[in-house]
């Protein structure tokens, strides 16, 4: 459907340049953005008009890292660190997804929340169960969302029910990958080794070969927690570091998303830049399970690609507006407590990371420039009345900080309505 969306537009032109256009027009033709206009050009005057009135209109959020099967227990079990949290919270819950009825109920809740959220595109983990993962993909596709879903690969240091056996791990991944690739148009499969401690070298080698055979994308976790990093050092004595433990299997490419990167060594930052890896910064999760603060400014200065993730259920919410303000807030603590050479992120910068930064993983996604995918949300902030005049930029900042008091009323992905 070709149409025109009218409202108070906000979108990024550059990391520190937030553009606003009160009562502006953004035009969608063939699922793509044809630009933003103060007055509607005559050539588009015949298109249907969706008038968002006083509401804010902005690009959709790109959530680069979350765990669909952990959504059900979000907001609980936050008093543990990563490894204990995996063993006592994540793994017992994920074991339940062997039961397709349980998976269907849980994933209905997840997909319904995703549909109503500010997120238009995502990279998410499922569990190692192929049938439940296909079911999740089916539901996300039916909801009109766009993104990647990974059947998790893992074969050690977990309960028996979550350890894939022998050569079957890689074979099952390939069978799932091929079926998913053929079956879905907007939800695509992504190779997903859980993290280094969960995968033997033999499994990683096979998954690396799969990546190359199919030109496939990959997602995993990198340098999240100090105990985890020490464990990886012990498990991989021949690796130059945690990033190299993936790189030696060819797993670091421009189609790779690595979550966290809280404690990168300087040579690892250089490797991530050189390989074009996308880092998913997940500030809420890093606070909740006490991992630390990722050095986002250092990554950005070095030229590493960075987007934001909620990492539900390490993060407690799929609300990406919250991820934007968490990113700003933890960067202030990083500057204050850790390194005063690393300037805090501004709100426009964090908004850029959530839209354009992470959007780059999906192609031309994340802003309203001509030729970008028409991914847009309409944000009703009328629940935040104010006696004083406010600019659109101020209203955007407040919508991020007070997201719970705002409502997403419309959402479009590739120009298709997902929420209306």
List the x/- string, 236-275, binding to Fe ion by CB under 5 A: -----------------------x----------------
How many residues belong to the site for ligand GUN (CB under 6 A)?
11
224 binds ligand GUN (CB under 6 A): yes
Q: How far apart (Å, rounded) are the C-alpha atoms in residues 121 and 64?
A: 8
Q: At closest approach, how far in Å is the CB of 367 from ligand GUN?
A: 29
Q: Which is nearer to ligand GUN, 154 or 399 (CB)?
A: 154
The three-state DSSP-derived secondary structure of 232-296 is HHHHCCCCCCHHHHHHCCCCCCCCEEEEECCCCCHHHHHHHHHHCCEEEECHHHHHHCCCCCCCH
Is the Cβ–Cβ distance between 46 and 189 less than 8 Å?
Answer: no
**Residue with the closest Cβ to ligand GUN?**
314
Using CB under 6 A as the binding rule, whether residue 311 contacts ligand GUN is answered as yes
**Residue 380 CB, nearest approach to ligand GUN (Å):** 32
Closest separation in Å from C-beta 319 to ligand GUN: 17
The residue within the footprint of ligand GUN, chosen from 86, 191, 284, 312 (CB under 6 A), is 86
411 contacts which partner out of Fe ion, ligand GUN, none, CB within 5 to 8 A by kind? Answer: none
Closest CB to Fe ion: residue number: 311
User: Does residue 97 interact with ligand GUN by CB under 6 A?
Assistant: no
d(C-alpha 23, C-alpha 10), whole Å:
11
Residue 268 sits in the site that holds ligand GUN (CB under 6 A): no
Q: Report, in Å, the least distance between residue 70 CB and Fe ion.
A: 8
How many C-beta atoms surround the C-beta of residue 263 within 10 A? 19
* 311 binding Fe ion? (CB under 5 A): yes
User: Is residue 89 close enough to count as binding ligand GUN by CB under 6 A?
Assistant: no
Q: How far is the CB of 151 from ligand GUN (least distance, A)?
A: 14
By CB under 5 A, tell whether 319 contacts Fe ion. no
Nearer to ligand GUN, 137 or 162 (CB): 162
Nearer to ligand GUN, 153 or 414 (CB): 153
Q: Which among 106, 101, 158 has a CA at the least distance from the CA of 128?
A: 158
> d(Cα 347, Cα 155) in Å, to the nearest integer?
41
The one of Fe ion, ligand GUN, none whose footprint includes residue 410, by CB under 5 to 8 A per kind, is: none
CB 170 within 8 A of CB 214: no
Return the bridge partners of 147, or none: 122, 187
Closest CA to 252 of 237, 239, 263: 239
Rg of the chain's alpha carbons, rounded to an integer?
21
Contacts of 332 (CB under 8 A, 6+ apart): 344
Please give the structure tokens belonging to residue 354.
Answer: 């959530």
Which of 260/398 has CB closer to Fe ion?
260
d(CA 4, CA 293) in angstroms, rounded, equals 41
CA dist., res. 285 & res. 63, Å (int): 13
Question: Taking CB within 5 to 8 Å according to partner kind, which of ligand GUN, Fe ion, none is near residue 86?
Answer: ligand GUN
Smaller CB distance to Fe ion: residue 194 or 410? 194
Phi, then psi, of 174 in degrees rounded to 5: -65, -45
Applying CB under 5 A, the residues found at the interface with Fe ion are 259, 311
Applying CB under 6 A, the residues found at the interface with ligand GUN are 67, 82, 86, 90, 194-195, 221, 224, 285, 311, 314
């Amino acid at each position: 459907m070709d149409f025109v969306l009218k409202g108070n537009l906000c979108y990024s032109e550059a990391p520190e340049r937030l553009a606003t256009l009160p009562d502006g027009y953004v035009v969608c033709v063939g699922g793509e953005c044809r630009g933003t206009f103060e007055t509607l050009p005559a050539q588009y005057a015949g298109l249907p008009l969706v008038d968002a009135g006083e509401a804010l209109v902005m690009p959709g959020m790109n959530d680069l890292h979350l765990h669909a099967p952990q959504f059900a227990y979000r907001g609980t079990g936050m008093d543990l660190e990563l490894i204990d949290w995996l063993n006592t919270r994540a793994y017992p819950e994920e074991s339940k997804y062997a039961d397709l009825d349980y998976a269907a109920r849980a994933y209905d809740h997840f997909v319904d929340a995703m549909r109503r959220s500010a997120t238009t595109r995502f990279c998410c983990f499922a569990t190692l169960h192929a049938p439940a993962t296909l079911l999740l993909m089916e539901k996300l596709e039916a909801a009109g969302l766009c993104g990647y879903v990974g059947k998790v690969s893992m074969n050690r240091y977990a309960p028996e029910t979550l350890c894939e056996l022998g050569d079957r791990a890689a074979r099952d991944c390939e069978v799932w990958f091929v079926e998913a690739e053929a079956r879905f148009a907007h939800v695509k499969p992504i190779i997903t080794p859980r993290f280094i401690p969960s995968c033997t070298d033999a499994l990683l080698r096979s998954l690396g070969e799969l990546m190359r055979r199919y030109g496939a994308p990959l997602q995993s976790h990198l340098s999240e927690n100090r105990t985890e990093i020490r464990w990886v050092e012990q498990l991989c004595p021949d690796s130059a570091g945690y990033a190299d433990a993936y790189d030696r299997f060819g797993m670091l490419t421009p189609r790779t998303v690595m979550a966290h990167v809280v404690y990168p060594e300087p040579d690892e930052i250089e490797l991530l830049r050189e390989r074009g890896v996308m880092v998913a910064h997940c500030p809420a999760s890093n606070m909740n399970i006490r991992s630390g603060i990722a050095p986002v400014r250092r990554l950005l200065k070095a030229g590493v690609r960075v987007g934001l993730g909620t990492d539900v259920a390490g993060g407690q919410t799929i609300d990406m507006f919250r991820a934007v303000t968490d990113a700003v807030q933890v960067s202030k603590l990083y500057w204050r407590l850790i390194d005063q050479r690393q300037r805090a992120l501004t709100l426009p910068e964090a908004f850029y990371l959530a839209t354009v930064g992470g959007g780059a993983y999906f192609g031309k996604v994340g802003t309203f420039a001509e030729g970008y995918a028409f991914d847009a949300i309409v944000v009703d902030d009328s629940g935040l009345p104010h006696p004083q005049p406010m600019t659109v930029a101020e209203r955007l900042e407040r919508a991020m900080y007070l997201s719970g008091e705002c409502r997403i009323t419309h959402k479009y992905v590739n120009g298709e309505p997902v929420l209306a």
